[in-house]
Structure 1
Amino acid sequence: MSTENTLSVADLAVKMSATWYRISPPPSGR
């Protein structure tokens, strides 16, 4: 396993997370 691959995976995960947050933001009424 290379470090570049890990970085790529991490970047992808971050992008996916951001997209998910944008699609369905957390409820701000707790």
Structure 2
Amino acid sequence: MQPAAGESAALLDSIQAKDEQNERSSSQHL
């Protein structure tokens, strides 16, 4: 049982989602 693994996975997902949003917003500004 490694709860940290699940937490890290969730963090990675959230980070990727934020990156995608940042890319979309930046592209829209351009």
Gaps of 5+ in 1: 26-30
Give aligned-pair identity as a percent.
12
Gaps of 5+ in 2: none
Q: Which of 5, 9, 12 matches 2:11?
A: 9
Work out the CA distance in 1 between the residues paired with 2:26 and 2:4. Answer: 33
What is the TM-score with the length of structure 1 in the denominator? Answer: 0.75
Aligned pair count reads 25
CA RMSD of aligned residues (A): 1.2
Greater percentage in helix: 2
What is the TM-score with the length of structure 2 in the denominator? Answer: 0.75
Work out the CA distance in 2 between the residues paired with 1:15 and 1:2. Answer: 20
